[in-house]
């Protein structure tokens, strides 16, 4: 199956901009989907498709994609954005399957 690679940890100063990346061959074909997970809670969908943010997700969250790399950008990070972020996509090596990245823990300083 395909793999999606994320940096294990990223930090950002309060109010600054941070980009969380996700790399993998499947991203040449499919858009990444992004989830936020806070400790002890279920994941929450924060961005999907080319340019879609679910209702209730702040507009400081945005996504982009280029080649085999997808990015989730938080513009003006807030303390409440401290969480683990996961990307996923359809798996091109085996259709109808799904692959997740290993997750990025974001620390807001």
Q: Which residues bind another protein (CB under 8 A)?
A: 1, 30, 33, 35, 37, 42-45, 48-49, 54, 84, 86, 88-90, 96-103
What beta strand segments (E) does the chain contain? 9-12, 18-23, 33-37, 44-47, 61-66, 69-74, 83-90, 98-100, 104-108
CB 32 within 8 Å of CB 89: yes
Supply the minimum distance, in Å, between the C-beta of residue 100 and another protein: 5
C-beta closer to another protein: residue 71 or 88: 88
Q: Kindly state the smallest distance separating residue 16's Cβ from another protein, in Å.
A: 25
What is the pairing mode between strands 83-90 and 98-100?
antiparallel
The whole-angstrom distance between residue 95's C-alpha and the CA centroid of its chain comes to 21
Name 35's bridge partners: 45, 86
* Cα separation of the two ends of the chain: 36
Q: Compute the least distance from the CB of residue 91 to another protein, in Å.
A: 8
Between residues 61 and 103, which has the closer beta carbon with respect to another protein? 103
Residue 10 beta carbon to another protein: minimum distance, rounded to whole angstroms: 15
Nearer to another protein, 97 or 109 (CB): 97
In the bound state with another protein, the residue whose beta carbon lies nearer, of 56 and 67, is 56
């Amino acid at each position: 199956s395909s793999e999606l690679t994320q940096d294990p940890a990223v930090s950002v100063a309060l109010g600054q901009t941070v980009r969380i990346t996700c790399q993998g061959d499947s991203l040449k074909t499919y858009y990444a989907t992004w989830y936020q997970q806070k400790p002890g809670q279920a994941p929450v969908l924060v961005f999907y498709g080319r340019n879609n943010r679910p209702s209730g997700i702040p507009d400081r969250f945005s996504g982009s994609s280029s080649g085999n790399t997808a990015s989730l950008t938080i513009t003006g990070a807030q303390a409440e954005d401290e969480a683990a972020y996961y990307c996923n996509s359809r798996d091109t090596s085996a259709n109808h399957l799904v692959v997740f990245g290993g997750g990025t823990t974001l620390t807001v300083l």
